[in-house]
Chain A
Amino acid sequence: MAIGLFKDGIEPGRLAPAEYADNFSDLHPPLDKHEALVEADRCYFCYDAPCMQACPTSIDIPMFIRQIATGNPLGSAKTIFDQNILGGMCARVCPTETLCEEACVREKAEGKPVQIGRLQRYATDEAMEQGKQFYTRAEKSGRKVAIVGAGPAGLAAAHRLTSYGHDVTIFEAKPKSGGLNEYGIAAYKSTHDFAQAEVDYVTAIGGIEIEHGKALGRDIHLGELSEQYDAVFLGMGLAGVNALRAEGEDALGVTDAVDFIAELRQSTNLSRLPVGRRIVVIGGGMTAIDAAVQSKLLGAQDVTICYRRGQEDMNASEFEQDLATANGVVIRHWIQPKRVLIENGKVSGIELEYTVMRGGKLTGTGETLVLPADQVFKAIGQQFDANALNGSRPKIALEKGRIKVDSEGRTSVKNVWAGGDCVADAREDLTVAAVAAGRDAAESINRFLKA
């Protein structure tokens, strides 16, 4: 029986069983064939299409949409996968409103872009449901590449490398592949265990070995890898979490939002997942939104996102912000955490300070307020855990706390490449950007191996 929204504390089973399924169903449900055809007909087949330029993986969007419109969804899927082998996941999780769909000329024309993401899902779903594989491995090159991390960057790199005939071994710290696709993306964006289905689809090409439970810096070391393999690709994401730097942040009930989400994503029975009655989420990005919305969907009564700057500074897109408010989340701006209030060893609230911009610098005004809370999520960004690189000889150069790479993804070490969230580059921290980085690094590695 549901215990309801009003019970204090961090408790499971706030909702009736059926409500969980409802709340965590597809955020953007798939288009059926008719819907896909109607939508595909809206595309103008633009020249040097703005949508395509805005796609970090440069998918030929007008072409794949035209292929849907002309009754060739498999050809469409191939057009997508040619550029982005994780096109299925990207179709679900890309913030299209700030990428392709923002650039779509019909956004300018009518404020209603072509629904590129949903069309991409239509085509890729079709191919994956049919188990259609478009790629085969080239003749074996006899070269071996080690990849660290089976997230989007690692998987994209692996697929491209094996297609060139190189043997790939992925070392993955976690028990499952997929990276944040499996452990981080909001549940309503990746339903029905899609992340694992996609890993299977990508690795079905062959030549990709994944060793789970193998962490770089613990079980394996970069020095060995770079000696034993012809090339190494690091796609380790961001394993560390930024500190709140607020008093009391170690109290019971203060949790990293990414850990909460990972637990949620791995839960096989959401009614057993405990969630607070009053929740405060600190942060302004996608993680903050996801933690807040999913808490709400688990039955939390009051969820407030507190962000220390203004609305326009939030990393979460307008669509994401609207999604949160539509789900009853309150977003407050210009307040920063000061102190976690504790009663009986548990969180009872959080004291926050108002902020302003003074002389181009964010400063606290000194004035504070208190929000009652039985759970506080920290969503103020992840950081790269450079400890994992222990033992690299010579030492890998870092930049802004992440791995330094050139435009091809080469690190400072001769046969080591890196890409995705773990590097300092111009790309955003997005699934699709990680795919692009992995793919491009694989091209660079291939050129290196064939030279």
Chain B
Amino acid sequence: MVEPVRPVVEPVVTFLDTPVSMRPLARLRVPVGLIAAWYLQRVFRDGLAGRTYHDVFHRPYLGWLPDLPPPMFTAVMGVGVAAALAMAAGLATRVTTKVTFAVVVYHLLLSATHVHHNRTYLAIVLGVLAVAPCERDAVGPAWPLWLLRVECSVVYAASGVSKLLDRDWVGGTVTWLRVVHQEAKVRGSVLPGWVADAVLDRGAHYVFAPGIVATELAIAFGPWFRRTRSWALGLAVVFHVLIELTSRVETFSYLAVAVILSIWLPADLRGRVAHYLRTKSTQVA
């Protein structure tokens, strides 16, 4: 290693090699497997009904990627569904996680029209799970866990910073117009009239929009500090519940909450939740 950077780089790379419990990632396989299965089963069912990407507009990313005939493509998606379910069930996770990752990435690379933020995030999470030791009680080098923590932060930081740099966004124009374009829905929703008036008011968005940006940045950086971690995780859950209630984002909310809680939930808090659940089940029994 180059001498001047050794004192900085050496502790970091040693840290990445430190053996840690892989339990957080083992736990994460359950929701991520189910989410991947949910995504692929729709493609699989369309294939069974004779609807594949072949006959409709699509834009491949890689010219050399094999265009499988529709029946074979459908079979591959079926294998992906089975692998994702097996991964969630903890069956042969070493193989099934890799297969799920490969099938999801293959489907995304087949067309730009398949790509959405939630799906690329799913592919990233699957990629990390595919390279991490799989056994529930396994101990392995810490790097996959740290990689996922960085990626998790990147999702919120990239989103927050892009909004921060956009005058229309941080000034409230974007959020206000999005609500205004949906005014009929907002007025017809369960919201009381005064709440609808408030969210449709231009002035409210001078506060609302920077609040969203601050929330995203807080979720990106908050978990990295012990004192702010629990607050950031709580904020993330509330944030994603609100997104789920107000927008159509496929499985993004579920994936994001599953990831951030699995990889950051403090051990003491996890212990308290487990204790609570054990107590409740004992009471029920």
- The answer to whether A and B come from one shared complex is no
